[in-house]
Structure 1
Amino acid sequence: MSLPCFPTTAFGAARRPVADRTPPLRLDQGRGSVRRFLIALATLFVVLASSFGGLLAMAAGGRAAESAAVSPMTARAGALLLKGATPGAYVEAPAVRADYDVTVSGPTQRTRVTQAFVNPGSGWIEGVYVFPLPENGAVDAMRMVVGGRVVVAEIKERAAAKAAYEQARRAGQAAALTEQERPNMFTNSVANIGPGETVVVQIEYQAPVRRDGDVSSLRIPLVVAPRYVPAAAARVETVSDAAPSDAPRGGDPVPDRDRVTPPVLDPATSAPTNPVTITVRLQAGFPVATIESAHHAVRTEAPAPDQRVVTLDGPVAADRDFELSWTATPAAAPSVGLFRERVGDADYLLAYVTPPAAKAAPVDTPREAVFVIDNSGSMGGPSMAQAKASLAFALRRLKPADRFNVIRFDDTMDTLFADALPATEANVARALRFVEALQAQGGTEMLPALKAALNDPRPADERFLRQIVFLTDGAVADEQRMFDAIAAGRGRSRLFMVGIGSAPNSHLMSRAAELGRGTFTHIGSAAQVEENMRALFGKLESPAVTNLSLAIPGGAADMTPAIVPDLYRGEPLVVALRLPRAEGAVEIRGTIGDQPWRETLNLADATPGAGVSKLWARRKIDDAEIARTTATLTPDQADAAILRLALEHHLVTRLTSLVAVDATPRRSADAPLDRADVPLNLPAGWDFEKVFGSRAPAAPLRRADLGDPVAVAAAREVSLPQTATDAELRLLAGLGLLGAALLVAVARRRERRA
């Protein structure tokens, strides 16, 4: 504690000459001065002690009152407290345990996700949990288990589902609501979880299995990575039950920013949370040669040559995606698969055909390669190392006849060369030095870098194949702006997305690659860099299967994708069809290099496949979203098509939600209800300080708060409630005694001088 010093001239009397103010020092005067000094020092010590004691009492009283404010909940040691709805009150964050039960049948998977919401306190809460699912998953079922009762959810338009949930919430009924924020990001809200109670919410989805060459795989995202939210030129208020637009065309680039930025725990101050268990029951349809989990330890059983049961080696924290891949024994994997499901008055078919390896020599046409690397704060740690290693690998693969450039971005952007230059040894060496010097920092302003890469100064130059390789974790919330830019500016460029890190934004990656007529490659660990980048360049340097078309009997099929894309080496052609009846044969034609290729599928030979209709509908919904982006459909036309498909097939979309309401009221009207957002883990390998700035031990932060200093300060502030101690009086008394002591000292000094 320091005391203010005031100059003498500030209080009336003019200063005397130095000789007048400094009389000769006598021995007895010196002794008296020392005595007075000691008395004043003792008085000052007493005053300071009294004042400091008051401060300690205030702090102690504040802590006591803060503990009391948690009442009626009794917090466990080390529990995370969140601000409640009542000012000054705190609630203990709910815990969520999740179990994933996956059944793989040939080219499809059916997954049941069971989430147990646990209320650890003694008050009523509403738990809100933001979680990821595969971007191509069709979420079609939800059940809530509360008090031994099972309540099956209904599909409704989003606003109607929200209204039903809110009404049940106010009435004290248990209710659950599943909403889509992005195709790979969902929110489960559970109302009226009783003290010490567990409410279970179980959702199910259908998704395709990925095939690439002779490798089949599935990926289960387990954590929503913090998304960078660009600042809005003018903040646009949104209502909570409105459908978040996936296509903002002005104003706020992320109008639903508060819904896509859940709180995130700092791993330096909080233990991992949200434990997960996973079981995969694999029925491959062919003898399995190898099976591998890329990022988790697993146990594997083999009940039959074509079956495996894979389980996590104990519960794990939800902080990275789970990936499982398997291969067939040599020559065992079929090159053609055809599956059928009869629903209502229609047959739904899923066909996948892997073209033979190209017999022609690799493409000799030189390439103009534009490499874009994300060095924002979310790429800190292992992600930055993986991205730099991947880009170095790509640069070393360039040939002297190729041209290239490198763009790096965080919340700023740099281009290595003014224009693409030949891949000479000196230019490549310069690029390698540029990449090696990069450090992860700042925000993720992706749009300027994407537009710079798409800018083609020679759009009619056919001497070079123009390819963009974009390395990022995709941690942005304004995905639609990226899609708009790609659709408007892709020209002759092909866009190849490389997702980096433990939890990439796969929705952004896969749709950007589709719009850019390229592919999506994921690199989740340093061990995958060389293998996955080598596979990517094998595609870039090999002939594509082009001019693909399907001849359908009767021509009455509703097919997705409507326009069949080019294929790269090892990629299967995957199409879904809806027919009045599966009869006759489908003929597929295309060109591999300069050689014609043809395949015939007899529809009568299709294998029964449960869930094929869901995959067809999910893909048709994606087609409508893409048509909206490319302006093939108006927003109203796209929304009408999406809503019709979602209601017909019972699917969650940005326009529809699943809601379950228990008819029995449970919470009395006078019992308070607090909302508690379930905090998420930081993705493995991420650096909290590089994403959010300095440590924030007081409360979890949201990525949307970045760029808004006031919001960041508010999120980090802990406001102690008003106390009932006499600390303020003691502090004032101490200051009063201090002032009196100073006045006495001045008076005595003037008396002796007089």
Structure 2
Amino acid sequence: MNPLTLNRKKRSMPRWVGQSCRAIGLINILILPLIALAATLFSALPARAETSASPQTQQMTLDEVKSGSLLLKSTEPGRYVEATRVATDVDIVVSGPTARTRITQIFTNPSNGWVEAVYAYPLPEDSAVHGLKMVVGKRVIVGDIKERQEAKAIYETAKAAGQKASLVEQERPNLFTNSVANIGPHEQVVVQIDLQEPIRLSNNVFSLRIPLVVAPRYNPASVTQSADISANGTGWGTASDPVPDREKITSPVLDPRLNALVNPVSVKVRLQAGFNLGEVKSQYHAVKTETVNDQTQVITLADGAHADRDFELTWTPKDNKTPTVGLFREHVGKDDYALAYITPPVIEQQKDTRPREIVFVIDNSGSMGGTSMDQAKASLDYALSRLKPADRFNVIRFDDTMDLLFTDTVKADAKNVSTAREFINSLQASGGTEMLEPLRAALNDPRPADQSFIRQIVFLTDGAIGNEQQLLDAIAAKRGRSRVFMVGIGSAPNNYLMNRAAELGRGSFTSIGSGEQVNDCMRDLFAKLENPVVTNLVATFSSGNVDMTPSNLPDLYRGEPLVIAAKLGSLSGTLTVKGMIGRQPWEMTVPLANAATGEGLSKLWARRKISDAEVESTLGTISIDDANKRILKLALEHGLVTRLTSLVAVDKTPSRNADMPLTRSDVPLNLPAGWDFDRVFGEQTLRKADINSPDIEQIAHSNKPVTAQDALEQLPLPQTATDAELRMIGGLLILLASGALFLFNRKSGLKAS
């Protein structure tokens, strides 16, 4: 039918037909879409009978983000829930050789729902964590030390019952997690953690380091594994994972280009040195200093600091009159505890004239991007300048691949050193941190019986890995005649790995946190490499019944003190230390009666005994079962958090009804200062102000760009809002549709009449 014929037929139709057609057209245009929309809304609503309102979680789109936040995906597409925020206050009292620290964390829930906050935070690797308090309003709940599994069960039971609870667990000696359950809408919960740590002394400088940020850690895939076959005869078993707790040590990290710094931190140190103070210096932060007297100062962080780098404070005695001996005591129960610092003298002696064979290992993985790579290159360039023509050397670089500059160590002549410098200058930071194989390559000694060279390994890295135990096992198994010297690079190095690797490798640990420190730190390192150590050390107490740590004293390098902790029935008599400085015998006797009063020495002694058990287990001198028994006994007796024990606090009064949903909220961390976000996580496709990485390993291993949607899709959350608003909108649309029909029918009726 052509259009002309259709028009003639339309004009010949009765009037009522035309009115009906217009009515139908109006319904199609205006009313049916409203009805369809209302029907769609109602069909999307869950069929449920309950009408009581449940807590609503504040949701937003990426376009609505106004400040740095961590957003967790909800079940509604394109909408997210804001994570819990945290603020940290660190209060430290230094009393002679020890520091007593109280860390106060304030968790604030910005949402309208109930949440569980999970926060990963660093602590000094040699600290003794022993106290936990949770403050809710005016209620103070004190934590108890329990075996780890028991503490976890208590926490989970309290969480399910709607009670506020806090759980402090050790994931590594320098990495802890704090879980806080049942934080109500817009509520604050305060958690306080108490710990003791020893003051460090090296090269006449006293120091205190407080780690403030957990660096993102590379967790290697399970390539090198061992199998555990069940003993029940079924033949089935499981394969090992080099990082069995990878989910617990991986926290979301904010991109500093798109997010304001989070986790504000305040630090206050009351420094009571016990001697007249000279220079007091904060290495990486601006501080305010108040002098109380010649021996006491109060140091506070300048306003506006955030947890994105470690805090380090150093001090020296006035006129450089550093004490060579320190002796302190504490009486607890029936026992006395002693802590002794003894620095051997620097004696001019005939140096070991043997040349050195040095293997330099440099980390050029993604976490070394930014200033860290510059510091590592400068440090290695300085090291090459200190080589002598008779020395031999090699350079190994690694990310998730590895290259040896030479097939074997070569003479340190001008040509080879120049080749090494060109190789180092060409390095770029990228990729993962597969540290195990380059370490094994460095430890591989083709001439293990050759005593004509002093064999040394200098390892430059930030240590940002999760498989520390694999590396420590490798050092213990393959160290041979090599000595391992660790150089920590960057604003937040993994000090636990560095110190333990140096201890097992019979070397030392040097930390370089800024470019300005490179020359001084490397000069100190080579002073240790080039000078003979104090060897064959033996310590004896004249009184019997002494439990001393370390039981086997390590060799000392120039400027390092011998630090001994001991448990005695009675602090009386003398302590005598003997050793060899080069070829000369050395001896020092210290009377114990005049020891000064110290604080927390019993807990520091127990913490060091726990570390001894870990080291002996790694070296294979005791079994893992024996080490675990020793660790558990010490931890329970002295109330310490270890890998086998945790602190748990529970408020007996429920605060959340059991039928109210609880959302897990992983608290985000800042990227350590100086790190390059793209080098760590791969180049990102950036969208809005809150692109976070809830799964660091997946992003680090991925070769494709990661969008905000990709990053946030990892964390589905329950939909906690009610459907009341949708039902109201649907009802309003139906009312509008009904009204339109009524008006149309009324108008049609009037025209017909």
TM alignment of 1:143-162, pairs within 5 A: 143-162=133-152
Q: Aligned letter for 1:118?
A: T
TM alignment of 1:700-719, pairs within 5 A: 700-705=693-698, 706-707=700-701, 715-716=710-711, 718=713
Deviations 1:477-517 (A, max 9, x none): 00000000000000000000000001001110000000000
Partner of 2:436: 447
Partner of 2:591: 602
Q: How many correspondences in the alignment?
A: 656
Partner of 2:503: 514
Partner of 1:377: 366
Please tell me whether the aligned partners of residues 271 and 297 of structure 2 are also in contact (alpha carbons under 8 angstroms): yes
CA gap 1:237/1:254 in 2 versus in 1, 3 angstroms: farther
CA gap 1:361/1:163 in 2 versus in 1, 3 angstroms: same
Q: Aligned letter for 1:716?
A: A
Deviations 1:649-679 (A, max 9, x none): 0000010000000111111122111110001
Query: What displacement does 1:106 show?
Result: 1.1
TM alignment of 1:479-518, pairs within 5 A: 479-518=468-507
Partner of 1:422: 411
2:58 is equivalent to residue 73 of structure 1: yes
Query: What displacement does 1:715 show?
Result: 4.6
Partner of 1:527: 516
CA gap 1:637/1:375 in 2 versus in 1, 3 angstroms: same
Q: 1:95 aligns with which of 80, 85, 90?
A: 85
Q: 1:434 aligns with which of 406, 416, 423?
A: 423
| Mapped partners of 2:469, 2:55: distance in 1 | 42
Deviations 1:76-125 (A, max 9, x none): 73363533686767431111100001111111111100000011121111
Q: Which runs of 5+ in 2 are unaligned?
A: 1-28, 45-53, 229-237, 730-753
Q: Aligned letter for 1:96?
A: V
Please tell me whether the aligned partners of residues 288 and 328 of structure 1 are also in contact (alpha carbons under 8 angstroms): yes
Please tell me whether the aligned partners of residues 70 and 91 of structure 1 are also in contact (alpha carbons under 8 angstroms): no
TM alignment of 1:579-590, pairs within 5 A: 579-590=568-579
Please tell me whether the aligned partners of residues 335 and 568 of structure 2 are also in contact (alpha carbons under 8 angstroms): yes
Q: Aligned letter for 1:72?
A: T
| Mapped partners of 1:661, 1:683: distance in 2 | 33
Q: 2:174 aligns with which of 184, 196, 201?
A: 184
Partner of 1:83: 72
Please tell me whether the aligned partners of residues 228 and 443 of structure 1 are also in contact (alpha carbons under 8 angstroms): yes
| Mapped partners of 2:226, 2:535: distance in 1 | 45
Deviations 1:660-713 (A, max 9, x none): 001111111221111100011111111111111132654424322232679978
Please tell me whether the aligned partners of residues 70 and 90 of structure 1 are also in contact (alpha carbons under 8 angstroms): no
2:465 is equivalent to residue 470 of structure 1: no
Q: Secondary structure at the match of 2:309?
A: coil
Please tell me whether the aligned partners of residues 55 and 660 of structure 2 are also in contact (alpha carbons under 8 angstroms): no
| Mapped partners of 1:474, 1:464: distance in 2 | 28
CA gap 1:327/1:432 in 2 versus in 1, 3 angstroms: same
CA gap 1:488/1:250 in 2 versus in 1, 3 angstroms: farther
Q: Secondary structure at the match of 1:316?
A: coil
Q: Secondary structure at the match of 1:257?
A: coil
Q: Which runs of 5+ in 1 are unaligned?
A: 1-49, 239-248, 727-754
Query: What displacement does 1:364 show?
Result: 2.3
Q: Aligned letter for 1:212?
A: S
2:571 is equivalent to residue 560 of structure 1: no
CA gap 1:262/1:166 in 2 versus in 1, 3 angstroms: same
| Mapped partners of 1:680, 1:461: distance in 2 | 48
| Mapped partners of 2:592, 2:705: distance in 1 | 59
Please tell me whether the aligned partners of residues 548 and 566 of structure 2 are also in contact (alpha carbons under 8 angstroms): yes
TM (norm. structure 2) is: 0.83
Q: Say what the alpha-carbon RMSD is for the aligned residues.
A: 2.9
Q: 1:574 aligns with which of 558, 563, 581?
A: 563
Partner of 2:339: 350
Q: Aligned letter for 2:57?
A: P
Q: Aligned letter for 2:212?
A: L
Please tell me whether the aligned partners of residues 532 and 557 of structure 2 are also in contact (alpha carbons under 8 angstroms): yes
Query: What displacement does 1:71 show?
Result: 4.3
TM alignment of 1:168-567, pairs within 5 A: 168-233=158-223, 251-330=240-319, 332-567=321-556
Partner of 1:623: 612
CA gap 1:651/1:84 in 2 versus in 1, 3 angstroms: farther
Deviations 1:56-81 (A, max 9, x none): xx9xx99xx9xxx9943266733635
CA gap 1:234/1:416 in 2 versus in 1, 3 angstroms: closer
| Mapped partners of 1:650, 1:526: distance in 2 | 40
> Percent identity at matched positions?
58
Q: Aligned letter for 2:417?
A: V
CA gap 1:596/1:178 in 2 versus in 1, 3 angstroms: same
Partner of 2:129: 139
Query: What displacement does 1:556 show?
Result: 2.4
| Mapped partners of 1:703, 1:717: distance in 2 | 12
